[in-house]
Amino acid sequence: MKQILFISGKGGTGKTVITASFAVLNNKSIIADCDVDAACLHLLLNPQIIEKNIFIGRKKSEILQNKCKLCGKCFKVCVFNAVLKTKVDNDSKKNKYLINSLLCEGCGVCVWNCPESAIEFNAKEAGEWYVSKTEYGTFIHARLIPGEENSGKLVNVVKKIAKEKAIEEKSDLIIIDGPPGTGCPVICSLSGVDLAVIVTEPSVSGIYDMERVLELAQKFNVKCCVIINKYNLNLKKTQEIREYCEKRKIKILGIIPFSEEINQSVVMAKPAVLYCNNEIKKTLHSICEKIGEELK
């Protein structure tokens, strides 16, 4: 079983558009969207959800008002300012304490320091993950509730289920749409993959962030290749990317021109390889073939 991950150092490079096209061209593979903070691959694959599951995130504190003696110890020990102090029935001499769940980091210090055991410390629902069917294969994706954390943990859940489905369906390829950047979700996405395809664009930030994510992937000894998207918007920067990759012996799988057709394919919620003209289709087919060679 092979795992291929599409990542980018920054958002907006066209990573998901390319991932969707690769999924179409490798019909009946297992597809996973690990960009759980801002998932959008489902918009292009039109999945039919067949299984929905709750994702339990980190533990968070909650004050039991009927047991709280208003000592204020939790307020004093919380370094994240998650404990809020309010007046009780407008009585200026008494304080009521509440915990802001968005600020709570789940460290448990308030729980350990409460002399009345008046603070619960329970895991909370942080999102959902789904098993869906698409025309192109089984699709595993997820949604993290805005403001919640543990996205790395949810990425691990998505990858674990994708592997189970690959074994169950006897699929030899898992296609993963990874998150942008270089943070925890990206690190979790990189774990165990056979090939990381980095999608970049010819801009100052595009090159800088490509370099960062390449360095990260190489620390995990993951084989990397590059796709330059929207290459014709800045030919000078495109040449800089070519020279950078040549110097470090990183293979460029292909270059894709900026095209209004690709933008329109997103508007129409269709994979670019099924919507665009012969030139774009030919380029995407060529890239797909080269990726197949890299996975051998």
Query: Can you list the positions of beta strands (E) in 78-134?
Result: 83-88, 91-99, 119-134
Tokens for 211, please give them.
């370099």
Asked if the structure places residue 52 within a domain, the reply is no
Asked if the structure places residue 195 within a domain, the reply is yes
Q: What is the pLDDT of residue 148?
A: 76
Count of structural domains, the chain = 2
User: What is the residue-wise DSSP string for 159-176?
Assistant: HHHHHHHHHHHT-SEEEE
- What are the two backbone dihedrals, phi and then psi, of residue 214, each rounded to the nearest 5 degrees? -65, -45
Tell me the C-alpha distance between 219 and 263, whole Å: 34
**14 and 152: one domain?**
yes
Residue 107, domain extent: 58-125
**151 and 244: one domain?**
yes
Tell me the C-alpha distance between 287 and 23, whole Å: 12
Residue 273 reports pLDDT greater than 90: yes
- Which is it for the CA torsion 40, 43, 44, 48, positive or negative? positive
**64 and 84: one domain?**
yes
**Model confidence over 235-262: pLDDT tens digits?**
999 999 999 999 999 999 999 999 999 9
| Mean pLDDT in residue range 202-217 | 94
Q: What is the pLDDT of residue 92?
A: 58
**Model confidence over 11-37: pLDDT tens digits?**
889 999 999 999 999 988 999 999 999
| Mean pLDDT in residue range 152-159 | 93
| Mean pLDDT in residue range 74-83 | 94
Mean pLDDT of the chain: 92
Least confident of 81-95, 132-146, 153-167: 81-95
Which letter does DSSP use for residue 145 in this model?
P
Residue 91 reports pLDDT greater than 70: no
Q: What is the pLDDT of residue 151?
A: 82
Phi-psi region of 192 (alpha: psi -120 to 50; beta: other; left: phi over 0): left
Least confident of 101-105, 147-151, 159-163, 200-204: 147-151
Determine the angle formed by the axes of helices 260-267 and 15-25, rounding to 10 degrees. Answer: 80
Q: What is the pLDDT of residue 167?
A: 96
Asked if the structure places residue 166 within a domain, the reply is yes
Looking up residue 75, the CATH number of its domain turns out to be 3.30.70.20
Q: Which of 125, 146, 166 is the endpoint of a domain?
A: 125
Least confident of 46-55, 93-102, 226-235: 93-102
**176 and 264: one domain?**
yes
Q: How confident is the model at residue 287 (pLDDT cuts 50, 70, 90)?
A: very high
**193 and 104: one domain?**
no
- The H-or-E segment that residue 180 falls in is strand 173-180
Q: Which of 125, 156, 177 is the endpoint of a domain?
A: 125
**35 and 181: one domain?**
yes
**114 and 225: one domain?**
no
**109 and 42: one domain?**
no
Tell me the C-alpha distance between 243 and 38, whole Å: 32
Looking up residue 199, the CATH number of its domain turns out to be 3.40.50.300
Helix, strand, coil share (%) of the chain residues, nearest 5: 40, 30, 30
Asked if the structure places residue 53 within a domain, the reply is no
| Mean pLDDT in residue range 78-89 | 87
**258 and 285: one domain?**
yes
**107 and 158: one domain?**
no
Q: What is the pLDDT of residue 147?
A: 75
Q: What is the pLDDT of residue 257?
A: 94
Q: How confident is the model at residue 150 (pLDDT cuts 50, 70, 90)?
A: confident
- Strands 91-99 and 83-88 turn out to be antiparallel
Strand-pair partners of 132: 49, 139
Residue 219 CB partners (closer than 8 Å, separation 6+): none
**239 and 160: one domain?**
yes
Tell me the C-alpha distance between 1 and 250, whole Å: 24
Residue 82 reports pLDDT greater than 80: yes
CA nearest neighbour of 273 among 9, 97, 19, 77: 19
Q: How confident is the model at residue 110 (pLDDT cuts 50, 70, 90)?
A: very high
Q: What is the pLDDT of residue 126?
A: 87
**64 and 119: one domain?**
yes
Asked if the structure places residue 130 within a domain, the reply is no
| Mean pLDDT in residue range 52-77 | 91
